[in-house]
Amino acid sequence: MTDFPTFAVSLTVNGRPVTAAVDPRTLLVRFLRETLGLTGTHVGCETSQCGACVVHLDGRAVKACSVLVVQADGAEVVTIEGLARADGTLHPMQEAFREHHGLQCGFCTPGMVMSAVALARGALSDDQIRAGLEGNLCRCTGYQPIIRAVGAGARAMSVLPDPD
């Protein structure tokens, strides 16, 4: 087996500067979980199909299994652990998922919430929510509670007006 040289990367993760020497083949999802211990970002398919690993990279929702950590050098990464306030107060989207039962087993939830937060930056109908989340798979909820949660979370984020 060939040894690969390591590369130094520096990025900001959940507001905290991080520097590490990494194998250039290391996926961002593996770096977050195995190097930083941020296990809220889940590994599902590792083929960019399920959305369990969605994080925000410089403000954009990306599937962390499709990004090498060296590609994130200099970037800002926010994981599900970085959404809640330091005092433990949940982000409005997290609270909406809890309140509207947008989760069951919880495996898809971190990626679903991260996708929903990025999606909620614009006005959304239920059809737009469905289309926006089509890259996130859930085997438990039937999606209806998730659709309700995303709508409520978006309203709580002051993106959507309250329904009449």
- The residues spanned by each domain of the chain are 7-80, 92-156
Alpha helices in the chain (DSSP H): 28-30, 92-99, 109-119, 126-132, 144-156
- Please tell me the predicted confidence (pLDDT) of residue 164: 42
The pTM of the full predicted model, rounded to 2 decimals, is 0.89
Q: Given CATH 3.30.1330.20, say whether it is the number of domain 7-80.
A: no
- Please tell me the predicted confidence (pLDDT) of residue 111: 94
In order along its 164 residues, the chain shows pLDDT tens digits of 567 799 999 999 999 999 999 999 999 999 999 999 999 999 988 888 899 999 999 999 999 999 999 999 999 999 999 999 999 999 999 999 999 998 888 898 999 999 999 998 766 789 999 999 998 988 887 789 999 999 999 989 874 445 54
| 92-156 CATH fold | DNA polymerase; domain 1 (1.10.150)
Distance, CA of 115 to CA of 130 (rounded, Å):
11
